Amino acid sequence: MSRIEPSEYNAHFEPYVSMAKGSSVSELIANYSEYLIDFVKHMDEQKATHRYAPGKWDVKEVLQHIIDMERVFAYRALSLARGVKDDLPGVDQNDFAAQHRSNRRAFSDLQEEFEAMRADHNILFRSFDQVALMTEGLVAQNRTTCRSWIYISFGHALYHVQILKDRYEILG
C-alpha cells in the first residue's frame, strides 16, 4: 500500500503525519513502537513535575495527554474501520487536560499505562485489513480515512517526545 495522501486527513494534522515515516501500518509499528515505549519507560521520575515554563504542562501532564489523545485516535480508527457513518466529534485537548488529574497518579502508573496502551493499539491496528484501512468517514466534519488516524497517532506521540527532549530536556 502506498504512503498516506494529504486528502485522507485534515491539514491540521500534517505536522504529526509528516513525522510518521512509513508506507504501512506494519512499518509504523516496526519503526516507532519500541522506540516510544523505551523512551517513556526510561523517563526520569525526578522530572515528572518539571515544567519548562510557567503555565506549561508538566511531564506527567504531557504523558497523560499523549495517552488520552492516542485513545481518541484509536477510537476514530476503529470507528471508521467498522463502518461508522456518523460524524465523529472533535476533542478539545485542553478540556481533557483540565480533567485528567495526572498529578494524583504515580509516574510509574502512567509509564505502565502508556506501554499497555501502545501494545494494545498495535494489535488493533494490525487487525485492520486493506479495506478497513481505506474506509472513509467524517471526524469533526472532515473527510478522513481509518489509516490516517494510525499515522496521526504515531506522529502525535513522536511530536511530543521531541518536545520532551528539546524543551524538558528528557533524554532518550
Q: Tens digit of pLDDT for each residue in 33-86? A: 999 999 999 999 999 999 999 999 999 999 999 999 999 999 999 999 999 999
Q: Does the residue 135 lie in any domain?
A: yes
Q: Does the residue 172 lie in any domain?
A: no
Q: Does the residue 16 lie in any domain?
A: yes
Q: Does the residue 171 lie in any domain?
A: no
* pLDDT recorded at residue 172: 59
Q: Does the residue 47 lie in any domain?
A: yes
What is the chain's mean pLDDT, rounded?
Answer: 95
The percentage of residues in the chain with a pLDDT greater than 70, rounded to a whole number, is: 99
Q: What is the pTM of this model?
A: 0.95
Residue 56's Cβ-side half-sphere holds a number of Cα atoms within 13 Å equal to 13
Q: Does the residue 68 lie in any domain?
A: yes
Q: Does the residue 112 lie in any domain?
A: yes
pLDDT tens-digit map of 78-107: 999 999 999 999 999 888 888 888 889 999
d(CA 144, CA 172): 33
Helices (H), the chain: 14-19, 25-28, 34-41, 59-81, 93-99, 107-127, 130-133, 146-166
What's the whole-number mean pLDDT along residues 122-140? 97
Tell me: pLDDT of 1 over 80: no
Bigger pLDDT: 95 vs 136: 136
Question: Where in the sequence is the domain holding 156, given as residue range(s)?
Answer: 6-166
d(CA 168, CA 121): 27
C-alpha dist (Å) from residue 72 to 45, 91, 92, 93: 26, 8, 11, 10
* pLDDT recorded at residue 162: 96
* pLDDT recorded at residue 101: 84
Q: Which three cell numbers stand for residue 166?
A: 528539546
CATH number at residue 118: 1.20.120.450
63 closest CA partner among 24, 32, 107: 107
Number of domains forming the structure of the chain = 1
Q: Does the residue 1 lie in any domain?
A: no
